[in-house]
């Protein structure tokens, strides 16, 4: 792990996302421009697109649109013509990875202001075609071509967790109930409705033991985050959000290749790096946005991030610890489950929620007394993970 003590500090000075959902009248370009315009508008001071030194844009490219040069295609449309742009593809962790690249560019002094963002349009092709594109983020030769779906992969994780630790169907459903309650208060969320525990437990099966309420939707949307050096941030904001730790790790792409079915080793490694850079432990995290593509993914994240002991995720959510009034709220935005999951935009969207919460700008979802937040963005079923720790105020 590199020593970051001698590098520049990085701060989030602006962040925004589009609504998530299905938008047949929008293009990937228009969605990304909306997110960038929103991020620039959220900066306390004046910042124009021509003042952004580097851009990192995450996208999977669902449906096959603009596979070559999608980064320049969207940044030029958003007013960043001429700005160096790098397209990042790390499956569902694309914009979380883009964020780490932006942070590294600022820390290294390559950029005073860097843009990290992402986009995806997933609802203008058939569900079968979307499934094919999502499948390429799993292990292709031995999982996807053998007929395994992502819901099937996460169902195996859920089944193993239930068998090994006694995790209950009710524990999975509580993730959906909590996140839908949070998402119902989020105007950007795709699924802005609450659900009862009975609804969540008795929904139609998708891949046993997972049902419809255990699965996030497919979404169109974009997100953008502006990262600045200390010197630049001081001229742009009076409410700085410091990037205290940026961690990233790769893992085995195929579930069958890993030593465990009940955890994601890459999350543990990325979290260890982020905690180490921030000089904190999991007990110091006030709230988190975690990657709940399926309900079991949120439970596993509790354990891998160190919020509870291994095997205790079920009792942990049952205790109310991750509710808005609990000891560590998780997915106040509604998470992927309710807010939505536009692949390339998801990690950036998580950061938008943390940015708003730490600045006291989260509206009806606002929780008081938060000073340190974490984002956790997973690619595929754990082949790539990005974890970031954010703190309110100057270093």
Whole-angstrom distance, CA of residue 232 vs CA of residue 246: 20
Distance CA 381, CA 276 (A): 24
Q: Which two tokens stand for residue 253?
A: 């792409």
376 tagged catalytic: no
Residue 188 known to be catalytic: no
Q: Which spans in the chain are helix H? A: 28-42, 70-77, 94-107, 127-135, 150-165, 169-183, 197-201, 230-234, 265-278, 295-304, 313-318, 335-339, 346-359
Alpha-carbon gap, residue 63 to 255, rounded angstroms? 25
Q: Please tell me whether residue 242 adopts helix, strand or coil conformation.
A: strand
Q: How far is Cα of residue 62 from the mean position of the Cα atoms in its chain?
A: 17
User: The tokens 């293009």 sit on which residue?
Assistant: 27
User: Could you tell me which residues are beta bridge partners of residue 117?
Assistant: 57, 224
SS3 content of the chain, % helix, strand, coil (to 5): 40, 20, 40
| Distance in angstroms (rounded) separating the CA atoms of residues 273 and 247 | 5
Active-site hit among 171, 188, 341, 376: 341
d(CA 83, CA 53) in angstroms, rounded, equals 6
Structure-block tokens of residue 292:
């709940």
Q: Which of 85, 92, 195, 293 is catalytic?
A: 92
CA distance 205 to 211: 4
Active site members: 92, 341
């Amino acid at each position: 792990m590199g020593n970051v003590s001698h590098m520049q500090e990085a701060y989030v000075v602006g962040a925004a996302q589009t609504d998530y959902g299905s938008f047949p009248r929008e293009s990937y370009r228009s969605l990304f421009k909306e997110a960038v315009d929103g991020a620039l508008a959220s900066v306390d001071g004046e910042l124009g697109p021509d003042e952004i030194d580097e851009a990192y844009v995450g996208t999977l490219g669902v449906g096959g649109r603009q596979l070559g040069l999608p980064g320049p295609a969207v940044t030029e449309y958003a007013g960043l013509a001429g700005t160096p742009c790098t397209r990042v593809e790390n499956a569902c962790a694309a914009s979380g990875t883009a964020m780490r690249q932006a942070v590294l560019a600022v820390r290294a002094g390559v950029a005073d202001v860097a843009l990290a963002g992402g986009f995806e349009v997933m609802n203008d092709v058939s569900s079968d075609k979307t499934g094919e594109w999502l499948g390429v983020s799993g292990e292709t030769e031995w999982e996807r071509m053998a007929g395994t779906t992502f819901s099937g992969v996460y169902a195996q994780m859920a089944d193993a967790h239930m068998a090994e630790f006694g995790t209950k169907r009710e524990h999975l459903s509580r993730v959906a109930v909590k996140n839908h309650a949070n998402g119902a208060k989020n105007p950007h969320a795709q699924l802005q409705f609450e659900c009862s525990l009975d609804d969540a437990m008795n929904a139609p099966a998708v891949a046993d033991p997972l049902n419809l309420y255990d699965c996030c939707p497919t979404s169109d949307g974009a997100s953008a985050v502006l990262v600045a050096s200390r010197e630049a941030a001081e001229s742009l904001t009076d409410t700085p959000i410091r990037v205290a730790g940026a961690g990233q790790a790769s893992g085995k792409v195929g579930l069958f290749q890993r030593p465990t079915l009940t955890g994601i080793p890459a999350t543990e490694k990325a979290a260890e790096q982020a905690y180490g850079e921030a000089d904190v432990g999991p007990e110091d995290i006030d709230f988190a946005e975690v990657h709940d593509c399926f309900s079991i993914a949120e439970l596993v994240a509790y354990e891998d991030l160190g919020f509870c002991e291994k095997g205790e995720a079920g009792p942990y959510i049952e205790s109310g610890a991750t509710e808005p009034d609990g000891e560590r709220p998780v997915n106040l935005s509604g998470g992927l489950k309710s807010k939505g999951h536009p692949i390339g935009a998801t990690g950036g969207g998580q950061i938008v929620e943390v940015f708003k919460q730490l600045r006291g700008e989260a509206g009806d979802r606002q929780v008081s007394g938060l000073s340190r937040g974490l984002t956790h963005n997973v690619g595929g079923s754990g082949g790539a993970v990005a974890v970031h720790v954010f703190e309110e105020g100057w270093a």
